[in-house]
Chain A
Amino acid sequence: MNAPIRRLGLVVAAMFCALLVATTVIQFVQARSLDDRPGNRRTLLASYSKERGSILVGGSAAAVSTKTDDQYKWLRTYPHKSLYADVTGYFSFTYGSTGIERSEGDFLNGSSDKLFYRRLTDIVTGQSAQGASVQLTINAKAQEAARKALGNQKGAVVALDPKTGAILAMVTSPSYDPNKLSSHNLDQVQQSFTQLSKDPDQPLLNRTINGNLYPPGSTFKLVTAAAALESGSYQTGSTLPGPAKLRLPGTDSYLPNDFPGNCGANDKVSLKRALTISCNTAFASLGMKLGQDELRSMATKFGFGKSLSVPMPVTPSVFPNDLNKPQLAQSAIGQYDVRATPLQIAMVSAAIANGGKEMTPYLVQSVRDKNLDVIQSTDAKEFANPISDGTAKDLTNMMESVVSEGTGTNAAIPGIKVAGKTGTAEHGAGRNADVWFTGFAPADNPKVAVAVLVENGGTAGQEASGGLVAAPIAKQVMEAVIGK
């Protein structure tokens, strides 16, 4: 019987090997990702036991930890309440964290590998451990202006520095007060969270980068126009058909303009004029001429379908596949299944503003340890180069006329050249349009590019259009940045 006992011994050895491997996988290989799971109370308790770094906007704190006498030792507070909520996110004992609190959590709680040497010196010198602080790129004035201009309307505003990609404003509405979720009164936190997560308006959603993507409507005409100019077959003065309504090939349905009548004399219109007055029929037929591959390729070059982190992950925007002619016609004017985040639309404007070079958007300017030594700082990086400098100049020229004499006059700032494009995305019956404005200023030396989205027509309801509702908001944000 000794041989089978020895063989059974091998089976036992294999069983124990399996256990050793499994524990190693859990405690070594997967340990980091398990620690980082949202709602991991141990990680939270560990991060509560030392002072968490601040999140700074300019010289003031958007999130700061204050000492308390209870078991959690430090309370996370947000002095500006809801103003920066969409950027900072919340830091909750019960519900984990979101936004910068989550994405930069390793730095804020001091557990990042880059802080290893500093942790070591802290232990040796006996100093209390402290997280690193995170300096944001947000411009306080632009953020306040955007919040104020958006008011009670549902929507989103994002502003970029076109030359660097730095995010200057990121506001979504409705928003929430993160203090209510970071409180140590866990019953109240639970109550607030339940209320917020059940709210049909989704105040916890960052509309600029996540959640529901929106049909970009006529703002997408910028991409269609870019594709046309880049193809070499079109110039700003090229003549396009511009009837009052366009019959969609193979169907009995018509694609109309947003305004009554045709786009120009004899149903003809130039490319520049078509963009200025947002002529649907001209761009729909242009899209069909170019073909879906050209359009999709241009959209992809601008970033549609690409993943991106700012450092919060951004939901990729979508340009649909396998379009038939009528679908292509609608896609060319940003309808059908084309979907975009406000950040993506702002990036399109920023790329045009920056001579065709699209910069990678980012929120974190620098990370400093408690001695204010810089541990990490972000340099401007090129994300893509979707269009040539010449195409960018042509598009800028066309967008200036949108603001000076077209649909976007409400975005005009006296004494400053503003470039822009409006959008009014129809949803069909029962719901008002989602309205857009995107643009940049000053057009000759761009300092800010914006995208504004207002859901469901905002306060203007059925009368809403991008020019009426979104353009004035964009104007105020751009003014705040330029300092006028």
Chain B
Amino acid sequence: MKTKIAAPKTRRNTELVLLVVAVAIVLVAYANVGLAVNESLPVDFFTLGGGFAVVAFAFHLVLRWKASYADPVLLPIVTLLNGLGLVMIHRIDLAPGSPDAAPKQLMWTAVAAIAAVALLFFVPDHRRLRRYTFIFGLTGFVLLLTPLLPGIGRNINGSRVWIAVGGFSFQPSEIAKILITIFFASYLVQTRDALSLVGRRVLGLPLPRARDMGPILIAWIASLGVLVFESDLGTSLLFFGLFVGMLYVATERRSWIIIGLGLFLVGAYVAYLLFAHFQERVSLWLDPFQPGMSDQIAKGLMGMAAGGMFGTGLGQGHPELTYFANSDFIIPSFGEEIGLVGLCAILVLYGLLVERGLRAGVASRDGFGKLLATGLAFSMALQVFVVVGGVTRVIPLTGLTTPFLSAGGSSLLANWVIVALLLRISDHARRPTTENEGRPENLGTDDTQIVNVK
């Protein structure tokens, strides 16, 4: 007996409605800043605002065409976050003595969206990425280390995480993050069986075999290398946390988490003992108001406090008094001007974004897709936690960009690519298998084929 199952809806119209709301919020915020600061609508309200809307809706059309079953919430959330980031960067530009960062950010938004669209075109199935597992892995680790190269490496704000080529600076770790996540996912899918084999039991905890400890040790040493040679605590934490999280998901063995946490604590403690830089971070975390020390956390806290429950209103606070108000400290800038309520809304948007990514992982029908979606979503969660936790004193402050909000091209580009990958995986997960009927021309191009048996 055959039961007829209703085909899943594409949900593209839901996405369109949400997208209209997201674009509307951004445009209202932009108008609000102009009215508050100059008491008039921004002169480029219709050109810039219109341009932004065109980019968002064009992306939507591409999804209808190329990934029609993709998750309908991802694009609206990302549009809203990116748009709000643009508005805040523009608002800080208007404060006296601030550089012009908004036009550059707008250009990067367009570039990033185009890159994401290109990815949707050229990667019709995420499993194709598995073919290049080791190329991605190698490129990723090389990119991670490029800032150390003399000549192109740049030391900015105490961390050596930038490269500059021909007057053009870039943070390669952002791109490396994606490549390495793909590599991890592919590698772990292959080796998960071996890694989940149990060796000895210690204190009732089934430990993995000693010979399987290699990968986690390599990841640990690599993150320590980033930490020591590039002085970048945030990136180091992000990579190691990502690896341990993915290892756990791949093997379903809790002992990996315990081993990972142990290694992390040892590494962090040794770094704390060895480097004055980290000791300073920790002591500022415990008390940000110490006289004679950096007052950047203190200034951010005062900004957030000034915002209180509902904020001063866009354009009416003084976010420019905080250092890096449009990059590392953009979260306090939002806290000041749109208040606790607005900041919580932003955090909830991030939470939804991560949740949607994890959901794509759960729904995905292949192990690689599951691990990749989980890894990408988890890396975004870690990054938000590290950067927002740093400015709100949950953890010591480390330098990472706030996804989609911070001024900075490499971060924007990388995060749009992550979203494009998540869209691709969710599209694949929700697309009904029956669609393969009548499309035999696809046969043979994918790694795994679905054979319909009648």
Contact = CB atoms under 8 A, between A and B. Distances in A.
Q: Chain B at the A interface: mostly helix, strand, loop or mixed?
A: helix
A27 B337 CA distance: 12
Given A4-B249, A28-B340, 16 more contacts: A1-B252, A2-B370, A5-B361, A6-B358, A16-B354, A22-B389, A26-B301, A26-B304, A26-B335, A26-B392, A26-B393, A27-B339, A34-B304, A42-B306, A45-B318, A46-B306
Nearest to B371: A1
17 contacts: A1-B367, A2-B362, A4-B248, A8-B248, A8-B374, A12-B377, A18-B394, A22-B393, A26-B335, A27-B309, A27-B339, A31-B304, A35-B305, A41-B321, A42-B303, A42-B318, A42-B321
A26 B305 contact: yes
Contacts of A16: 347, 350-351, 354, 381, 384-385
A15 B392 contact: no
Interface string A368-408: 00000000000000000000000000000000000000000
A35 B302 contact: yes
B392 A19 contact: yes
Q: Chain A at the B interface: mostly helix, strand, loop or mixed?
A: helix
B370 A5 contact: yes
B370 to A, nearest CB: 5
Nearest to A19: B388
B265 interface: no
A107 to B, nearest CB: 19
Contacts of B382: 15
A31 B312 CA distance: 13
Interface string A125-167: 0000000000000000000000000000000000000000000
A30 interface: yes
Interface string B229-251: 00000000000000001001110
Nearest to B308: A31
B289 interface: yes
A40 interface: yes
Contacts, number: 124
B380 to A, nearest CB: 9
Interface in B322-355: 335-336, 339-340, 343-344, 347, 350-351, 354-355
B378 interface: yes
Given A1-B367, A1-B370, A27-B308, A9 B358 contact: yes
A30 B306 CA distance: 11
Nearest to A4: B249
B272 to A, nearest CB: 21
A190 interface: no
A22 B245 CA distance: 24
A23 B344 contact: yes
A3 interface: yes
B317 interface: yes
Interface of A: 1-6, 8-9, 11-13, 15-16, 18-20, 22-24, 26-28, 30-32, 34-35, 37, 40-43, 45-46
Nearest to A45: B318
Contact of A27 (B304, B358, B361): B304
A24 B382 CA distance: 20
A4 B307 contact: no
Nearest to B374: A5
Contacts of B374: 1, 5, 8
Given A20-B347, A42-B318, A30 B252 contact: no
A127 to B, nearest CB: 19
Contacts of A35: 302, 305-306
B309 A28 contact: yes
Contacts of A1: 249-250, 252, 367, 370-371, 374
Q: How large is the interface on B (under 10, 10 to 19, 20 to 34, 35 or more residues)?
A: 35 or more
A26 B388 CA distance: 13
A112 to B, nearest CB: 15
Greatest chain B CB density within 10 A among A15, A26, A45 is at A26
A5 to B, nearest CB: 5
B362 A37 contact: no
Given A1-B249, A18-B389, A19-B385, A28 B308 contact: yes
A23 B250 contact: no
Contacts of A13: 351
- 7 pairs of A and B residues whose beta carbons are closest in the complex: A34-B305, A22-B392, A27-B340, A42-B306, A31-B305, A4-B249, A12-B381
A15 B388 CA distance: 10
Contacts of A30: 301, 305
B358 A42 contact: no
Given A22-B393, A45-B318, A12 B339 contact: no
A28 B311 CA distance: 11
B355 A9 contact: yes
A23 B381 CA distance: 17
B271 to A, nearest CB: 22
B377 to A, nearest CB: 8
Contacts of A28: 308-309, 340
A23 B378 contact: no
Contact of A4 (B252, B340, B389): B252
Contacts of A34: 301-302, 304-305
A27 B301 CA distance: 8
B320 to A, nearest CB: 10
A37 B289 contact: yes
Interface in B270-310: 289, 301-309
B306 A8 contact: no
A13 B385 CA distance: 11
B308 A8 contact: no
A43 B306 contact: yes
A8 B347 contact: no
A363 B339 CA distance: 37
Greatest chain B CB density within 10 A among A6, A27, A46 is at A27
Interface in B365-383: 367, 370-371, 374, 377-378, 381-382
Contacts of B308: 27-28, 31
B302 A42 contact: yes
Contacts of B371: 1
A31 B367 CA distance: 47
Contacts of A19: 347, 384-385, 388-389, 392, 394
A146 B101 CA distance: 59
A324 B394 CA distance: 50
A16 B394 CA distance: 11
A242 B198 CA distance: 92
Contacts of A8: 245, 248-249, 358, 374, 378
A23 B371 CA distance: 31
Contacts of B394: 18-19, 22
B392 A23 contact: yes
Nearest to A71: B96
